[in-house]
Chains A and B, each alone.
Chain A
Amino acid sequence: MIRGLYTATSGMTLNERMQEIVSNNIANANTVGYKGDTGVIRSFPEELLLRMNDNKSGVGAEKNNMGTIGSVSYGALLEEAIPRFVAGTLKASDNPHARAIVDLPQAEGSGREYARSYFPVLVGNQTMLTRDGDFGVQTGTNLLITSRGNYVLPVNTVTGQPMTDARIRVGQNGAYEYVNAAGQPLQPNAQVNPAQGVVDVADSRQLEKYGETYFRGGQVERGTGQMNQGQLEQSNVDLSASMVTMMNVVRSYEANQRMIRSLDSTLEKAVSVGRLG
């Protein structure tokens, strides 16, 4: 019975976590390039209950001198938050540097169902990936940056990899030039052919959210997605589904609380059994 208290508590804790995930989704309902998270709940591992010193009944009882009662699980936890990589709706933007990615459709069963394209950006000295194409121009240097101020990296069209030592400079007429970190123009040759582009991640679920709509980790490969100029990919958060999840969360939380209260009152009875007078 005491176990039941902890089981119900684990239910309350997981619903708190779930509520945190849902409210983060709702807060980012208008964040360009945001991918909503889905919480995945897992039950604690099943444990086998045994009766000691009783071999009269149950499966495998003779062998161990123990009777089997059955398996039981002691609660649940919020195992992981998986971002939904479904594309958000595209919206026209009057930002001349706005880009939206349209992914190459992947066949079911091809093993690339979660292959998506991303813009490479430089955060500190780390290459991160983003779907937010609401780019701007850095004051002074005229380099292409994200709305957070990180450099957008060009992609080497020969190797298909992002070029961490190159930048994109916006010229007077709005055309893109490719320069190195010191601002000197890059000379395209057989090994280097920079272009503003995207890179692919074969299994986007291996990416970790960093914040600022950036993702990190994951193996990048040659990009297959298409860039639409003058459009922005909106957040893919489904507000009505979030509302339903919240209602679900609060009721499940309440039910767990009721369980604790009823266990508590049962325990109280047990305490009063031994009371004198």
Chain B
Amino acid sequence: MRSLWTSASGLHGQQARLDAIAHNMANLNTKGYKAQDVQFKDLLYVEMGQQAAVNGLNERNTPAGLRIGHGVYAANVKHSFTPGPLERTDLKLDVAIQGEGFFSVGIYDATGRTIQVGFTRDGSFKVGQDRAGNHFLVDSGGRPVLNRQAQPIELTGVDVNTVKIDAAGTISGMIGGEMTELGQLEVARIQNPEANLDAIGENLYVLDANAGVNVVTAGVAGTEGTSLLQGSLEMSNVDMAAQMTDMIMAQRAYGMNSRAIQVADQMMGIANNLRNG
């Protein structure tokens, strides 16, 4: 009874979809979160031999043979990099990217060495402190935000309430009563982010190992199509209503697959009762 496995693949596929939807819903209020979706494909078809046409009964509509599919599988999980809505927070260290681009943060290992550059759309920055007592601009996970020279941005002695970030990402703040330029935020534009970035959690993306050499364009803040906005944050791009309808669809399809299993089971029961006693 092949149909049992076919329906089981359907259950499995819809379960994967429900998982993705649940993950999106859980991140409805995560700053800079990008929604994901599961893409389905049908499984290979088996072609069954059919006896040759007898007595000229050859009025078929399709080519010879009977092709029956084996169900469905989740082919791909895709991230949607459409921008989320901006929310005004009026915090001095909150920055939103209007248009394309990602902030760069340094991902450190246990010894404090930068091992990788992470990309994020989450601009809810904070002031962090290293072991020597110096202050730096960090992201919500405590990783240093990088400047154009790929170095952390030092905020030691800066009065945070006076920090200004312009559209090109230049940060300035009062040090001892004097307005000082502290560096420029690095914003990189990544070609086809859905293909070239891998999500690693905590709102972070890293460049895929197979990504081409020239997919990253550094320093795009303030250029056409990308500008920064201080005092705002980009919210999650999850559309609650769309997720709810998708969930209903997935749930109904799940129910139908389980009904198909019941029917297949019932048929096997009938076959089992072909002879009683």
Which residues of A are interface residues toward B (Cβ below 8 A)?
12, 15-17, 19-24, 26-32, 34, 37, 40, 42, 45, 78-82, 94-95, 132, 134, 136-142, 147-148, 170-172, 205-206, 208-213, 217, 239, 242-243, 246-247, 249-250, 253-254, 257, 260-261, 264
Q: Are A254 and B62 in contact, CB atoms less than 8 angstroms apart?
A: no
| Interface 1/0 per residue, B64-98 and A, CB below 8 Å | 01111111100110101010000000000000000
Q: Which of B42, B60, B65, B256 contacts A212 (CB 8 A)?
A: B42
Specify the chain A residue showing the minimal Cβ separation from B61.
A205
Choose one: B17, B76, B191; the contact of A172 (CB below 8 Å).
B191
A81-B67, A142-B212, A212-B41 are known contacts. Are A26 and B257 too (CB-CB below 8 A)? Answer: yes
Given the known A-B contacts A23-B3, A147-B78, A208-B63, are A15 and B41 also in contact in the complex, defined by CB atoms under 8 Å?
Answer: no
Q: In the bound complex, do residue A141 and residue B212 qualify as a contact, i.e. CB atoms below 8 Å apart?
A: yes
Known A136-B194, A142-B191, A210-B45; further 18 A-B contacts with Cβ < 8 A: A19-B263, A22-B260, A23-B10, A27-B257, A29-B256, A30-B13, A34-B42, A81-B62, A137-B196, A139-B195, A148-B41, A206-B62, A208-B62, A211-B69, A212-B44, A213-B42, A246-B260, A250-B267
Q: Are the CB atoms of A134 and B39 closer together than 8 Å?
A: yes
B1 within 8 A of A: yes
**A34-B42, A45-B55 known; A136+B195 contact, CB < 8 A:** yes
Pairs A–B under 8 Å by Cβ, sample size 24? A17-B66, A19-B3, A19-B264, A23-B3, A24-B3, A26-B253, A26-B260, A27-B71, A27-B257, A29-B253, A30-B13, A40-B61, A79-B50, A136-B78, A137-B192, A140-B210, A142-B195, A142-B212, A148-B75, A205-B62, A211-B43, A250-B263, A250-B270, A254-B270
Cβ of B271 within 8 Å of any chain A Cβ, yes or no, is yes
Q: Are A209 and B195 CB-contacts (below 8 A) given A19-B263, A23-B7, A23-B264? A: no
Q: CB of B57 within 8 A of chain A?
A: yes
| Contact among B192, B210, B260 with A23 in the assembled complex (CB-CB below 8 Å) | B260
**Would you give the shortest CB distance from B58 to chain A, in whole angstroms?**
11
- Contact yes or no, A217 B63, CB < 8 A: yes
Encode B17-52 as 1/0 by CB contact (under 8 A) with A.
100000000000000000000011111110000100
Contacts of A132 on B, CB cut-off 8 Å? Answer: 41
CB-based contact A20/B45 at 8 Å: no
Q: A26-B7, A82-B62 are in contact. Are A42 and B274 (CB under 8 A)?
A: no
Cα–Cα distance between A21 and B6 once the two chains are bound (Å): 9
Q: Is the CB of A20 within 8 A of B41?
A: no
* Residues on the A chain within 8 Å of B189, using CB: 172
B217 touches A172 (CB 8 A): yes
Interface set, chain B 203-237, CB cutoff 8 A to A: 208, 210-212, 215, 217
CA A142 to CA B212, docked complex, whole Å: 8
Contacts of B257 in A (CB 8 A): 23, 26-27
Q: How distant is B190 from chain A, measured CB to nearest CB, in Å?
A: 10
> Which of B208, B252, B256, B263 has a CB less than 8 Å from the CB of A139?
B208
A261 adjacent to B217 (CB under 8 Å): no
Asked if A213 and B45 make an inter-chain contact with CB atoms under 8 angstroms apart, the answer reads no
* B contact residues around A82 at 8 Å (CB): 61-62
Report chain B residues within 8 Å CB of A137. Answer: 192, 194-196
* A30 CB to nearest chain B CB (Å): 5
Contacts of A148 in B (CB 8 A): 41, 75-76
The 10 closest A-B pairs by CB, nearest first: A27-B10, A211-B44, A147-B39, A23-B3, A24-B69, A137-B195, A137-B192, A31-B40, A23-B260, A27-B71
- B172 located at the interface, meaning its Cβ lies under 8 Å from any Cβ of chain A in the complex: no
B270/A28 in contact, CB under 8 A: no
Q: Could you tell me the distance in whole angstroms from the C-beta of B65 to the nearest C-beta in chain A? A: 8
Interchain CB contact under 8 A, A209 and B67: yes
How many Å lie between the Cα of A147 and that of B194 in the bound state?
12
Chain A residues, CB < 8 A from B7: 23, 26-27
Contact A30 B274 (CB under 8 A): no
Bound CA span A138–B221, Å: 26
Nearest CB to that of A18 among chain B residues?
Answer: B3
A24 lies within 8 A of B195 (CB):
no
From B39, B191, B253, B259, contact of A246 by CB (8 A): B259
Does the CB pair B250–A30 fall under 8 Å?
yes
- Tell me, in angstroms, the Cα distance from A132 to B55 when the chains sit together: 40
The chain A residue with its CB closest to the CB of B39 is A147
Give CA–CA (A100, B120) in the complex, Å. 31
Asked, given contacts A17-B66, A138-B195, whether A24 binds B71 with beta carbons under 8 Å apart, the answer is yes
B245 to chain A, nearest CB (A): 10
